[in-house]
Amino acid sequence: MQWGKVKNILIVILVAVNAFLLCNLGVKQWQDWERVRELQANLGELLSGYGIELDASFRLPGDTVLPTLSVDRSRTSEEAVAAAALGGELERTEREDGAVLLEGASGSLEWQADGRLQGECATGEPAPEEEKQAQRLAQRLLEKWGLASDDAAYTADGLSVTMTGTAAGLPVFNRQISLRFDGQGGVAVSGLWSFGTPYTTVQASGTVCVASDALLAFAANGQDCTRITSMTIGYRLQSDSGRRLQLMPTWKIGTDSGDYLVDCAKKTILEQEN
Amino acid sequence: MNQAGHSVKNTAKNVSLIVLVLLLGVLCAANWLAGMNIDQMPADNLLRRAYDHVFGGAVGYELRSSGVAAAEPAQLALTTDGQLYGVQYSLTDIDAGLEAVRPLWAAVLSDGELEQAEEAELVAALRAGDCALLRYHGAIPLSVAAGWMGGSWQSDLAVETLVYTAGSGQLFVRTDTGALYAAAADADESVLRAAQQGFRGLSCQFSGEAYAVYPETLLFDRETLSLPLLKAGSIDLFDPQSGTGLEDLLDAFGFTPYANYYSEQNDRVRVFVDDVSTLRVNAAGLIQYAAGADSTVRAYDAGEAAGRAALDAQLDCARTILDTAVRAGETDTHASLYAVQHNGNRTTLVFLQMYGGVPVLGDNDFATFVFENGSLTSATIRLQRFHADEVRRTVLPARQAAAGAQGETRSLMVAYRSDGDYFAPGRFYL
């Protein structure tokens, strides 16, 4: 037996099989790409009927299935944040609706049952005079208070700084904390936040997030916009009937008149940002 | 030289063969994966999680096989600095209290030998030092309650109230029939101190032997439990405006949106049918499911789970369906486990309907699930939607209710009950 020839034959067979598999994969990918392109073109036509056009840079995101996640409210973490922000002894007042007011030497913070936070306190640092200083100080304060995470992103607008973060690796569109410096050593805090790792159970089924369905539902709802520029999948924090915090799969649709959130399951438009 | 050339050629062929075989494996895997609908895989599938990591799905969340409590406690209490403090009938207070005392109960509920105990023994133990109390609305298997708290206990005794007395180092449990059992229990002093630091509530006392109620009944000082009257609203599960509520509900019971159905009562009732099960949905909120032993709704596969794990899986399955149903009906209520009954391979789970932290009682149970060998064979859910009225009613304080109790010792409970056009809160003897 001439092993050299056998190897040659094997190499030829393997090359042929690999080439076939590669072609097969390529055809599938091309078909997928073509299907998305066709879908986007059809969507563009349908949307034009509503007086809305898709921006040239718009790319229709792929469909996905996301689990609805739960987050436990952590009063310990809320109190730890308040202790770090307000310093000294804290006076705690609980209200019937689940809100907790924490008052300290340098101000007060109120956490609502649905994760909303608002309050005012003294920073104990020189007041920032411009945007970059405000952003640096906000970042330092939020890190000191134990709110900032590794993936936190900051945006500044004058003396107002907003921090956003992700949960389960995806953006949570309404989970953000804003610090507004008053220029006299004080800061107003407001926003919506959650603590701890989100969870789901094995039995729980996921929510199918279909971009085209959400876009059509959005357009059919008669929104005041003429151009859609982007579409992103993520989560939205909300409290359910049992006052448990949940992360609901949500599309964020960017338009020329602002950003809109569309619930992936119900296709309802929830709120308009900006 | 010729031999050296052969050797190089041979090596090149060998390397090519190895590379081509590896490439063949990769391409086969890629083709196989491209043909799969990975999005539809369950979240605990390794392939699904790997795919999410690579292609930007949801990652970094916990996947719990169970452990999500199917019932909220009705009351919690803990002695701090010699004074007993408690919280009751408020989801937010109970949540906050639970966060503080969970590690303590995890330490206390770490297996032991339960023996029948006397009431006098409990009364003496309540006076012996620091105590902690945990009371549910219904009878929960001790093993399940222990699991929710992070502990473990082998017994399936259905308990309503658990009392830990640090002074005597005992755990007392009260069953739904009123029987009292005790076991030796011990929690580390530092765990007790940490719980005491984090727990906040209103001052209260145990009733002890003063009244004709169980000695562990909590009597709050200056108790003013004021709750709104509730008015029942209408539900329309077939309303097109309710999004995918009905679709999700069908999915929870293993039906697709395209399942065959026929209508009754002017399309106010739809009966969905497949080969093994029937789902009857009344637009007003009554949901009835029936299936044979080969039901497509399974808590676990045969032989996959047994004992506590099997019960956990069934609880989780029922809780998930209930969550979906409550969302579909947009009821602003939630469900809480009330009773678990075993009969051979048959397990029946009964749930209460809760508004805030207070049960809403009707003529029938809010939800009942029957599992046989892990398959859901029957389920009934009665969805109701409530609106809180501006009028509030103050519930009779426990101290007064206890003073009015007569005859055999009994327990007290706050609940909503139908009262004409409204559901009114009141305190009832059990």
Average pLDDT over residues B337-366: 90
Q: What is the pLDDT of residue B243?
A: 61
Q: Chain A residue with minimal CA distance to B66?
A: A201
Summarize pLDDT for A1-40 with one digit per residue, the tens.
588 889 999 999 999 999 999 999 999 989 988 988 899 8
| Residue B299 clears pLDDT 50, i.e. is over it | yes
pLDDT at residue A61 above 70? yes
What's the rounded mean pLDDT across residues A200-212? 76
What is the pLDDT confidence band of residue B414, given thresholds at 50, 70 and 90?
very high
pLDDT at A274: 45
Return the top range by mean pLDDT from A67-81, A158-172, B40-54, B59-73.
A158-172
CB contact under 8 A, B243 and A67: no
Please check the confidence at residue B77 and state whether its pLDDT lies above 80.
yes
Over pLDDT 70: what percentage of chain B? 95
Q: How far is B39 from chain A (nearest CA, A)?
A: 5
What the block records as the tokens of B360 is: 């809403």
pLDDT reading at A166 higher than 50: yes
Residues from chain A contacting residue B24 (CB–CB below 8 Å): 14, 17-18, 21
Residues of B in contact with A170 (CB under 8 A): 56-58
Q: What pTM, to 2 d.p., does this model score?
A: 0.66
Structure tokens at A77: 């973490």
In this prediction, residues A185-209 reach a mean pLDDT of 82
Q: Which CATH number fits domain A44-72+199-274: 3.40.190.10, 2.40.128.690, 2.70.150.10, 1.25.10.10?
A: 2.40.128.690
ipTM of the predicted structure? 0.72
Helix (H) or strand (E) holding A107: strand A107-111
Q: At CA B38, angle to CA B43 and CA B321, rounded to 5?
A: 40
What does each C-alpha distance from B371 to A185, B32, B378 come to in angstroms? 62, 37, 7
Q: How confident is the model at residue B43 (pLDDT cuts 50, 70, 90)?
A: low
| B366-379 pLDDT tens trace | 999 999 988 999 99
Q: What whole-number percentage of chain B has pLDDT above 90?
A: 44
Residues within 8 A of B (CB atoms), A 220-249 only: 235, 240-243
Nearest in space to A107 (alpha carbons), one of A188, A193, A179: A188
Question: Chain B residue with minimal CA distance to A6?
Answer: B13
Mean pLDDT, range B186-201, rounded to an integer: 91
Banded model confidence at residue A273, pLDDT cuts 50, 70, 90: low
Residues of chain A positioned with their CB less than 8 A from the CB of B43 = 67, 200, 202, 204, 206
- Position A232 scores a pLDDT of 93
Judge whether B129 and B168 are in contact, CB under 8 Å: yes
A172-189 per-position pLDDT tens digit: 998 999 999 988 889 999
Q: Is the pLDDT of residue A123 over 90?
A: no
Residue among A100, A202, A251 with most chain B CBs within 10 A, to mutate: A202
pLDDT score for A231: 93
Q: pLDDT value at position B304?
A: 65
> Which residues contact residue A114 at a Cβ distance below 8 angstroms, ignoring those fewer than 6 apart?
A192, A238, A239, A243, A245
Q: Is the pLDDT of residue B296 over 60?
A: yes
The two tokens of residue B232 are: 């029942």
Q: Cβ–Cβ of A267/B243 closer than 8 Å?
A: yes
User: Is the confidence at residue B326, as pLDDT, over 90?
Assistant: no
Find the helix packing angle between B307-329 and B245-252, rounded to 10°: 160
Closest residue, chain A, to B314 (C-alpha): A203
Q: What pLDDT shows up at residue A206?
A: 75
- pLDDT > 80? residue B49: no
| Residue ranges covered by each domain of chain B | 2-55, 73-225, 236-383
**In the predicted structure, residue B127 carries a pLDDT above the cut 70:** yes
Q: Pairing between strand A269-273 and A258-263?
A: antiparallel
Q: What is the pLDDT of residue B85?
A: 95
Q: How distant is the Cα of A170 from the closest Cα of chain B, in angstroms?
A: 6
Report the sign of the C-alpha dihedral through residues B39, B42, B44, B47, in that order. Answer: negative
Tokens 């094995």 correspond to A202
Given a contact cutoff of 8 angstroms between Cβ atoms, the answer to whether B181 and B157 are in contact is: yes
Do the beta carbons of residue B342 and residue B143 sit within 8 Å?
no
Widest CA span in chain B: 112
What's the pLDDT at B64?
Answer: 62
CB contacts under 8 A, A 23-52 vs B, are 24-25, 28-29
Select the residue from B27, B250, B300 to test the A interface by mutation, using most A Cβ atoms within 10 A.
B27
Per-residue pLDDT tens over the stretch B217-256:
999 988 888 899 999 888 888 887 666 678 888 888 988 8
- Pairing mode, strands A53-54 and A227-239: parallel
